[in-house]
Structure 1
Amino acid sequence: MEMNGAVASSAILVMGLVGLFSVALPLGLALLFRRRTGGRTRFFLLGCVVFPLFAMGLEAQGHRLLYYGVWSQALNSSIWLYALYGGLMAGIFEECGRWVAFRLGRRWTQGPGDALMYGAGHGGAESFLLLGMTMVNNVILSLTINQGGLPAVEELIGPISEAGMAAITSLAVTPAALYLWGAFERITAMVVQIALSVLVYAAVTRKSGWYWFPAAILLHAAVDVTAVAAGAFLPIPATEALLAAWAAALALLARRVYLQEKWKKS
């Protein structure tokens, strides 16, 4: 196998900065929410634990049970079915995780600021595990490519598959600015995660607010369906614009619910 060209130093720098941003964003929000709303750190940490447990643990097991045979073939043959399946699975598992977290933390909560803290932790774990770790891996591979080429990469990770070769080759041709879209996408995702946390918090703390839980599942699914379907047909800027619009709409809805919860506590 041969590979022409090295990874630009500007691309490596941007990858590193985006990786740092994936951690700085949730930590900065946690500090802001703690100071401005009185949200407590334990809910931030709870969110950091619940996301990998439900989204990357239990949901992954659900995919292993459901994603096979004729059903798998049907999903792979239609981007819309695939998007709907993925969106519903993510919505069900992540929102159930939120519901469990707020049920467990109900005795500790002192107000809706805890929902914001939880959302920063839930979205922060997602940010670090999906974006941060990817950027760390990319930086390591890029430096290895520049220092010793493919032989050095094979020494680091072992035999390179065809898919792995395509991913490695893309590092040498991807413009540095393109990685900034990853940071932008994490901002919109963080807004969505915080907004959904407020809705599920209201479902748990209000006797008459149960409907916010199924609403959160459906809204989560709708956002993910948009991400997958738009990503298949539209350029990155258009896809991110649609997701930003979703984030803004959910933020406005969550703000109204948050203020209602705040007035209820006062």
Structure 2
Amino acid sequence: MEYILISVFTILLTTFLVYKIANRIFNVPLRKKPLFLCAACALFISLVLPRIVVGVTGLLGTLVVLALFAVLFAYFIAYYDNHDQSPPVAEIPVEKGLMDEKVATVETAEGPLPKDNARTPEEQDTIIQTTLNGQEVTVSPPSVRSDLSDQPLSDALDDLLDYAFQQKEAGNLCLALKYFQQALKLYPDNEVSPLIVVEIGSILKNKGQYDEAIKVFVEGRNLPALRSNSTVQQDFINTIAYLRIVRNVLLQRRLGFIPYGEIPAAVFDEIDAEFREWRKLT
């Protein structure tokens, strides 16, 4: 009994450490479900299977059976992982346009996809505009001051956005993300909330957190300001589709979730080609 408990504890601890080290240090996007399936299969092969076959096949036969089961389990886990992590992007219809990644302007753009996508947060325009409920809304980040304050002046929307933009321009993306998220949480019904979603998604994308960016845009489609604005709604759909293609191409090339600005040009060409092809199919 002690042997079984020690074996189970050792395999689970090793699995947890591999997951943390791969994702945090080596930026290899291991996923929990397949990894713990591997752990379960390892427990079965090491603890259960030998007791079943060792008395029948002998030592050599047992090793052969264990090797066959290990290969079989590895194949099915790899198949499950590839199938599960590549959902078809066609589940969201896209009619036209792609939000140009060099501009944070929310607009529907027709024509070919831009070849030179935005690669760094610094290349984002400092003014984002959209039309909400028939009125033009502009959010202009203030110029960066050399003496950045430690926190916003208050929880008012303007103060939160001013501070978030200051931190973004200063390169403090974690702080900028925190206060953009706080502004969205406190003022989800405000007409500028879609613009805040764009800023949050842009930061997450540039940090390589594509799943989180997709989730932000998916949830952002439920904002009150978007319900009566089909143009911005369509832009969110376009962005979700594009980010999904970016994520899937990176996974297929086994590059990991590298920051958007570090994606090689050849990979961008593949991403753009897939997006164009997908637009034709939809």
The two structures have a TM-score, normalised by structure 2, of 0.27
**Larger RCO (CA within 8 A; separation ≥ 6):** 1
TM-score, with length taken from structure 1: 0.28
- Structure 1 or 2: larger helix share? 1
